[in-house]
Amino acid sequence: MTSASFSRPGAIDLSGLKQQAPAGGGSGASTGQAGPNYVTQLTSIPEFETAIRQSMTHPVIVEFTSARAQGAQTLSNDLAELVNSMAGRVSLGRVDVDTHPEIAQALQIQGVPTVIALLGGQAAPLFQGIQPRANLEAVLDQIMQAAVANGVVGKAEPVSTGAPAEGAEGAARPSDPRFDPAYAAMESGDFETARAEFDKILMQTPNDAEAQTGRAQAGLLARSAQLDGSELTRAAAESDNIDAQLAAADFELVQGDPDAAFGRLVEVIRTTKDDDRERVRVRLLELFETLGNTDPAVLKFRRRLASALF
């Protein structure tokens, strides 16, 4: 399997991670923690294709494993715990190559365990073999940096409210065909059309979290397509220019610095009023949507926004 490059500026080449993660013994962590579960079993090519579509909104880790591989269960447990602790910022798909070899064959997987990443509809190899938990944490950090740089900052929906029993297969969340046109547009880079498609869904179900996140992400990607960093210089020189401040915040967010992006707009809200203030407030709320309401940065700056407004 060859590494796929990502289309957005500043993306990290995830294939380099397979050289950074030397083989070693993993920790013997249990998979029995309570809370939402973001781990699914991928049992067919169509389910794998669903995971690819889901990677347009959030990173998806795919683990190819086998009960025959020594230490593979420890790796599976560690991956599941780490992914579940990230509260939907990433999801994990697990492929048993003994019972579903067609998926491994389609991706030319040569050995197990093997772990790859899906991001923005593209695949990149991460590592092969057992890895220490600390290495897994570093890999996931790199993936999240790449996700933010690529504007892939949505949240996965949990497949259950509790972790599955060890070795149990979880059912993958069925694909909703209403989202197909939106994700197809996202994959082709037509973000304006994607946003319009998400709007159609929101007209039918106004509180649909996936549609809200997708719409916000499409808007950010559409606006940030031509950003190059000069927005920060312009914003510093034109502190009263609302457009400049909004563009600078977009750039900071896609570069992985939500604190800078959100903080910038909160300060603009403090110093503006009427239509200008409302315009910035609406944009800030939309940027919150790209990360999700449970993200620590969002929670922190929601409080600061309330203070700035009242």
Distance CA 63, CA 26 (A): 15
- Nearest alpha carbon to residue 51 among 132, 141, 119: 119
Residue 29 predicted with pLDDT over 50? no
Q: Cβ of 226: how many Cβ atoms within 10 Å?
A: 8
Verify that 28 and 129 share a domain, yes or no: yes
- Tens of pLDDT, residues 78-87: 999 999 988 8
Higher pLDDT, residue 310 or 215: 215
* Token code pair at residue 41: 């079993």
Verify that 190 and 234 share a domain, yes or no: yes
Residue 171 included in any domain: no
Distance CA 284, CA 298 (A): 10
Domain end residue (candidates: 113, 133, 162): 162
DSSP letter for 186, please.
Answer: H
Residue 6 included in any domain: no
Domain end residue (candidates: 162, 192, 219): 162
Residue 28 included in any domain: yes
Distance CA 244, CA 50 (A): 38
Measured in whole angstroms, how far is the alpha carbon of residue 10 from the centre of its chain?
Answer: 16
Verify that 153 and 182 share a domain, yes or no: no
- Tens of pLDDT, residues 179-223: 888 888 877 778 889 899 999 999 998 888 778 888 888 888 888
Verify that 156 and 181 share a domain, yes or no: no
- pTM here is 0.53
Residues 291, 283, 264, 217: what is their CA dihedral angle, to the nearest 10 degrees?
30
- Tens of pLDDT, residues 170-183: 444 455 788 888 88
Q: How many domains does the chain divide into?
A: 2
